[in-house]
Structure 1
């Protein structure tokens, strides 16, 4: 029951993040950059201080390194072959060259490894790891839902439809979490591999996507502090769990 609840909350966070986009159309680059950097700090702390150490307890360095590389390579292939949202570093709103449906498909596919990481974390049997990773992923999903809804609204999609689409992209993550949970319960070696895979996916998103986007509009200093506070906040949460 705890697994279902945590996975659902992480997935629904995408829809919760979309709500502010329904209330106002434009958000300043400074606000978005600070939010993205904070989420980057949260994900970095979860990957480096929780997922990787726990994977090392259950397997040797070869398995962990393989899992991390698989996560990085998987996200690289997704990025190279499937279009996704890029923030245009200017005073304008989000700009994109591809059609809306392709963007929605890309967001759905990017949510798959995040959902798997939640399921694997709960299946690992480590006390507190599942809720903590679900919280980290959910926190990262909120600005993602905001940006998706904002993009769709600017493409003249009705606000209700934009909200429902953001909700659906998040729910895909919920089903991915269930798959990850089931597989790791049947194949033991998938637990350390899945944990390190999730860490690699998170590190890729942090370094390749969140940090560059949060530093591209001249807000590097405030984004840096936001990143550090996000990491400290996540460390504090690990002590609570």
Structure 2
């Protein structure tokens, strides 16, 4: 249980590192896009090998298919709601998210960024904790994938919050809250899934996989290409290759 809490916190700490980099360093948008593209590739690999592969093996095609479709649908519904409340560009460092809004609208946009980031982190963290149930230790593929993808998320989202006139202190409190939520989600994923049958575990694993893939397509992929250009296709492929190698040798 405590290992799940620890690894959930470690993977989410990359958001804080990204925020620190955005606040104190000058990092070009192109490099942010490249890091994000690599994270996209590793997360695709993690979702395919660690979540869907295990789900198919443990629960079969029906449970996996239903869980995956449900995860993608639920994430999309929540993404639409969060986007309408100001979080549509939560991973976009180059866009002024406040626009011509009044102060209240800008605050709503900042809260949208925060809510969207929490929403993105929960399915990843749950399955990170669940990966410990196999008794073979934490999934290296999931830890690396989540950590790498969280760095550019912290970078881009922090820039967006700064454009909404959020102070450094308030930004750190928000990302600290994301870290705590991620760690708790990882621990709860371990505790909750431990009680379930293999078929239910498979369905929930596929559910998280569907949410992750929907998140990648709606937020990370567009931002990576927008900031990094055509080179992101190759970089994402290298991220996927990295996930394959980690899965093979871990």
User: Same-fold call, TM > 0.5?
Assistant: yes
Is 2:120 aligned against 1:110? yes
Match of 2:188 in 1: 179
Indicate if the aligned counterparts of 2:34 and 2:228 stay in contact, CA closer than 8 A: no
What is the aligned-residue RMSD (CA, Å)?
2.3
Residue aligned with 2:89, SS: coil
- Unaligned residue ranges in structure 2 (runs of 5+): 99-104
Query: How far, CA to CA, are the matches of 1:106 and 1:33 in structure 2?
Result: 19
Is 2:64 aligned against 1:64? yes
Query: How far, CA to CA, are the matches of 1:51 and 1:129 in structure 2?
Result: 13
Is 2:96 aligned against 1:86? no
- Cα separation, partners in 2 of 1:59 and 1:141, compared to 1, 3 Å: same
Deviation at 1:109?
A: 2.6
Aligned length: 236
- Unaligned residue ranges in structure 1 (runs of 5+): none
Query: How far, CA to CA, are the matches of 2:45 and 2:155 in structure 1?
Result: 23
Match of 1:193 in 2: 203
Query: How far, CA to CA, are the matches of 1:87 and 1:8 in structure 2?
Result: 21
Deviation at 1:201?
A: 1.6
Is 2:132 aligned against 1:122? yes
Match of 1:140 in 2: 149
Is 2:213 aligned against 1:207? no
Indicate if the aligned counterparts of 1:65 and 1:196 stay in contact, CA closer than 8 A: yes
Query: How far, CA to CA, are the matches of 2:48 and 2:140 in structure 1?
Result: 17
Taking structure 2 as the reference length, the TM-score comes to: 0.84
**Large movers: runs of 4+ above 4 Å:** none
Is 2:155 aligned against 1:154? no
Indicate if the aligned counterparts of 2:17 and 2:151 stay in contact, CA closer than 8 A: yes
Query: How far, CA to CA, are the matches of 1:172 and 1:77 in structure 2?
Result: 21
Deviation at 1:20?
A: 0.4
- Cα separation, partners in 2 of 1:111 and 1:155, compared to 1, 3 Å: same
